[in-house]
């Protein structure tokens, strides 16, 4: 019985070593394949955030340029964002109740 196990082990030693290697590389340690897949997903998510922030930056840069050069843009921003008005007009703010 002992010699048959020994014979079986020597016959399949390369297959066993390969299986241990695949388990070690795939699932154990910081640089395992499972961790790398998670890191790639995180990188993709962060690149999406970077693109979104760059888009917002460009939009704000255009708005700032308009505010510096165009007095009408100042009025538009004051009215839309801060609900300011001139002396001879009334502003009504209507809010939708979406909680119903």
Q: What is the pLDDT of residues 35-57, one digit of tens each?
A: 889 999 999 999 999 999 999 99
pTM strictly above 0.95: no
Residue 53 within a domain: yes
In a domain, 26, yes or no: no
95 located within any domain: no
- In terms of C-beta distances under 8 Å and separation of at least 24 residues, what long-range contacts does 69-75 make, across chains too? none
How many CA within 13 A on the CB side of residue 70?
11
Mean pLDDT, residues 4-31: 81
**Residue 52 falls within a domain, yes or no?**
yes
- Residue 72 included in any domain: yes
Range of the domain at 80: 39-85
Determine the Cα–Cα distance for residues 48 and 45; give it in Å rounded to an integer.
5
Least confident of 16-20, 25-29, 41-45, 69-73: 25-29
Tokens of 57: 């930056």
DSSP 30: T
């Amino acid at each position: 019985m002992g010699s048959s196990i020994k014979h079986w082990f020597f016959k399949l030693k390369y297959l066993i070593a390969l299986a241990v290697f695949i388990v070690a590389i795939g699932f154990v340690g910081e640089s395992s394949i499972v961790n790398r897949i998670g890191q790639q997903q995180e990188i993709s998510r962060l690149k999406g955030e970077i693109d979104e922030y760059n888009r917002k930056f460009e939009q704000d840069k255009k708005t700032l340029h308009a505010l510096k050069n165009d007095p009408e843009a100042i009025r538009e921003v004051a009215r839309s964002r801060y609900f300011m008005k001139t002396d001879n007009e009334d502003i009504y703010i209507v809010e939708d109740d979406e909680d119903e």
